[in-house]
Chain A
Amino acid sequence: MTNILETRGLTKRFGGLTAVDSVDFSVATGSITSLIGPNGAGKTTFFNTVTGLYTPTSGTIAFAGRSLVGLKPHEVTAAGIGRTFQNIRLFGNMTAVENVMVGMHSRMHANVLGILAHSARVQHEEATARAKAHALLDAVGLPAQRADDLSKNLPYGDQRRLEIARALATDPELLLLDEPTAGMNPQETAELTQLIRRIRDERAITILLIEHDMKLVMEISESITVLDRGAKIAAGLPHEIRSNEQVIEAYLGRGAASMAHAHARNGGEPT
Chain B
Amino acid sequence: MQTRIRKSMIGAAFGFAIALISGGFAGILAGLVAGLINGYVVPEAEPLADKRRAIVQGLTVALVGSVLTILGIVLRNVVIDPIIGVPLNLIGVAIAAVGAVLLCVLVSVVMCVVRTEPPARERIGMAIVVGIILVTYPWLDQFLNLRFMNEVIPVLVFLLMALGLNIVVGYAGLLDLGYAAFFAIGAYAAAMVSSPHFGLSLSFWLAIWVAAAVAAIFGLILGSPTLPLRGDYLAIVTLGFGEIVPIAIKNLDNVSLSLWNYPLFVDVDLTGGTKGINPINRPWLPIIGEFSPSNPIPWYFLILGIMLISIFFISRLRNSRLGRAWTALREDELAAGAMGINTVNVKLLAFAIGATFSGLAGAFYGAYISAIFPESFRFDVSVMLLCMVILGGLGNMSGVILGGIIIQFADRLFLPQMSTVVQKLIVASGNESLRDINFASDFRLLLFGLTLVLMMVLRPQGLVPSNGSARVLPVAAGEARHD
**Interface, chain A (partner B; CB < 8 A):** 51, 53, 72-74, 77-78, 83, 85, 87, 89-95, 98, 101-108, 110, 112, 115-116, 118, 122, 125-126, 129, 150, 152, 166-167, 169-170, 269-271
Which of A77, A105, A271 lies in contact with B321, CB distance below 8 A? A105
- Residues of the A chain whose Cβ atoms lie less than 8 Å from the Cβ of B337: 53, 72-74
Task: Please name 4 further chain A to chain B contacts, defined as beta carbons within 8 Å, in addition to the given A74-B338, A74-B343, sorted by A numbering.
Answer: A78-B340, A94-B324, A102-B327, A102-B341
**Bound state CA distance, A74 and B338, in angstroms?**
6
Interface residue B480 (Cβ < 8 Å from any Cβ of A): yes
What's the minimum C-beta distance from B212 to chain A, rounded to whole angstroms?
13
Stretch touching chain A among B83-91, B152-160, B328-336, B359-367? B328-336
Interface residue B349 (Cβ < 8 Å from any Cβ of A): yes
Say yes or no: A73 contacts B320, CB within 8 Å.
no
What's the minimum C-beta distance from B440 to chain A, rounded to whole angstroms?
38
What's the minimum C-beta distance from B345 to chain A, rounded to whole angstroms?
9
Which of B317, B327, B349 lies in contact with A93, CB distance below 8 A? B327
Stretch touching chain A among B282-290, B407-415, B465-473? B465-473
Say yes or no: B481 contacts A271, CB within 8 Å.
yes
**Bound state CA distance, A78 and B338, in angstroms?**
10
- Residues of the B chain whose Cβ atoms lie less than 8 Å from the Cβ of A92: 331-332
Say yes or no: A98 contacts B327, CB within 8 Å.
yes
- Residues of the A chain whose Cβ atoms lie less than 8 Å from the Cβ of B331: 91-94
- Residues of the A chain whose Cβ atoms lie less than 8 Å from the Cβ of B480: 271
**Bound state CA distance, A229 and B268, in angstroms?**
66
Say yes or no: B339 contacts A170, CB within 8 Å.
yes
**Bound state CA distance, A29 and B95, in angstroms?**
82
Interface residue B436 (Cβ < 8 Å from any Cβ of A): no
- Residues of the B chain whose Cβ atoms lie less than 8 Å from the Cβ of A77: 338-340
**Interface, chain B (partner A; CB < 8 A):** 313, 316-317, 320-322, 324-325, 327-328, 331-332, 334-343, 349, 353, 467, 469-471, 480-483
What's the minimum C-beta distance from A74 to chain B, rounded to whole angstroms?
5
Q: Which of B313, B316, B321, B481 has the most CB of A within 10 A?
A: B321
Asked if A91 meets B332 with Cβ closer than 8 Å, knowing A74-B341, A150-B467, A150-B469, the reply is yes
- Residues of the A chain whose Cβ atoms lie less than 8 Å from the Cβ of B332: 89-92
What's the minimum C-beta distance from B41 to chain A, rounded to whole angstroms?
21
What's the minimum C-beta distance from A67 to chain B, rounded to whole angstroms?
19
**Bound state CA distance, A108 and B343, in angstroms?**
15
Say yes or no: A53 contacts B334, CB within 8 Å.
yes
Asked if A93 meets B316 with Cβ closer than 8 Å, knowing A74-B342, A112-B349, the reply is no
Say yes or no: B341 contacts A93, CB within 8 Å.
no
The 4 closest A-B pairs by CB, nearest first: A106-B340, A77-B340, A91-B331, A73-B337
Which of A91, A108, A167 lies in contact with B327, CB distance below 8 A? A91
**Bound state CA distance, A110 and B334, in angstroms?**
22
- Residues of the A chain whose Cβ atoms lie less than 8 Å from the Cβ of B320: 110, 115, 122, 126
